[in-house]
Amino acid sequence: MSHNQLDFVRHFCIVGIPKTTIETSSMSDKVLFFDTTLRDGEQCPGASMNLRQKLEVARQLEKLGVDIIEAGFPCISDGDFEAVFTIANTVKKCRIAGLARCVENDIRRAAAAVAPAGDRGRIHTFLATSPLHREFKLKKSKEEIIEMAVAGVKLAKSLVNDVEFSAEDASRTEHDYLAQVVEAVIDAGATTVNLPDTVGFTTPQEYIAMIDYVVKHVKNIDKAVISVHCHNDIGLAVANSLAAVTAGARQVEGTINGIGERAGNAAIEEVAMALSTRPEAFGFAAGEKPHNLETREIVKTSRVVASMSGLSVQRSKAIVGENAFAHSSGIHQHGILAKRETYEVIDPAEVGWGETELPLTKHSGRAAVKARLEKLGYNLSDSEITHVFERFKKVGDSKKFVYDDDLASLVNDSLDTCDGTWKMVDIQFVAGSAARPTATVQLEKDGKMYTDCAIGNGPVNACFKAIDRITKSKGELVDYNVRATSIGQDALGEVTVKVQFGNCECSKPVSGKGAATDVIEASARAYLNAVNRNISLAALAAAQA
Q: Are residues 268 and 249 in the same domain?
A: yes
Percent of the residues in the chain that have a pLDDT greater than 90, as a whole number: 57
Consecutive H or E run containing 146 = helix 142-159
Q: Are residues 349 and 430 in the same domain?
A: no
For the stretch 378-410, pLDDT in tens is 888 888 888 888 888 888 777 777 877 778 778
483 within domain boundaries = yes
* CA–CA gap between residue 216 and residue 390 (Å, rounded): 62
314 within domain boundaries = no
For the stretch 136-180, pLDDT in tens is 999 999 999 999 999 999 999 999 999 999 999 999 999 999 999
* CA–CA gap between residue 123 and residue 111 (Å, rounded): 7
- Least trusted range by pLDDT, from 87-96, 115-124, 440-449: 440-449
Mean pLDDT, residues 333-360? 65
* CA–CA gap between residue 196 and residue 227 (Å, rounded): 8
Q: Can you give the residue range of the structural domain that contains 252? A: 3-309
Work out the pLDDT band at 327, boundaries 50, 70, 90.
very low
- Pairing, β 448-455 against β 435-445: antiparallel
3-state secondary structure (DSSP) of residue 378: coil
Work out the pLDDT band at 238, boundaries 50, 70, 90.
very high
Q: Are residues 68 and 25 in the same domain?
A: yes
Q: Are residues 509 and 409 in the same domain?
A: no
Q: Are residues 175 and 133 in the same domain?
A: yes
Consecutive H or E run containing 271 = helix 268-277
pLDDT at residue number 468: 95
- Pairing, β 448-455 against β 475-484: unpaired
255 within domain boundaries = yes
Q: Per-residue pLDDT for 18 more than 60?
A: no
Q: Which positions ≥6 away from 331 have C-beta within 8 Å?
A: none
Q: Are residues 540 and 479 in the same domain?
A: yes
| Number of folded domains that form the chain | 4
Q: What is the largest CA-CA distance in the chain?
A: 80
Q: Are residues 38 and 114 in the same domain?
A: yes
Mean pLDDT, residues 497-516? 79
Q: Per-residue pLDDT for 365 more than 90?
A: no
CB 402 within 8 A of CB 376: no
Q: Are residues 133 and 227 in the same domain?
A: yes
State which of 111-115, 397-401, 433-437, 491-495 shows the largest mean pLDDT.
111-115
* CA–CA gap between residue 175 and residue 226 (Å, rounded): 15
Work out the pLDDT band at 514, boundaries 50, 70, 90.
confident
CATH number of residue 527's parent domain: 3.30.160.270
Q: Are residues 514 and 405 in the same domain?
A: no
436 within domain boundaries = yes
Q: Are residues 243 and 389 in the same domain?
A: no
Mean pLDDT, residues 274-286? 94
Q: Are residues 378 and 432 in the same domain?
A: no
pLDDT at residue number 25: 37
361 within domain boundaries = no
Residue at 370: amino acid letter: K
166 within domain boundaries = yes
Please indicate whether residue 30 or residue 486 has the higher confidence score (pLDDT).
30
Mean pLDDT, residues 192-211? 97
* CA–CA gap between residue 28 and residue 21 (Å, rounded): 15
Q: What is the mean pLDDT of the chain?
A: 86
Distances (CA, A) of 360 to 152, 372, 460: 54, 9, 29
318 within domain boundaries = no
CB 304 within 8 A of CB 378: yes
Q: Are residues 397 and 248 in the same domain?
A: no
Q: Per-residue pLDDT for 257 more than 80?
A: yes
315 within domain boundaries = no
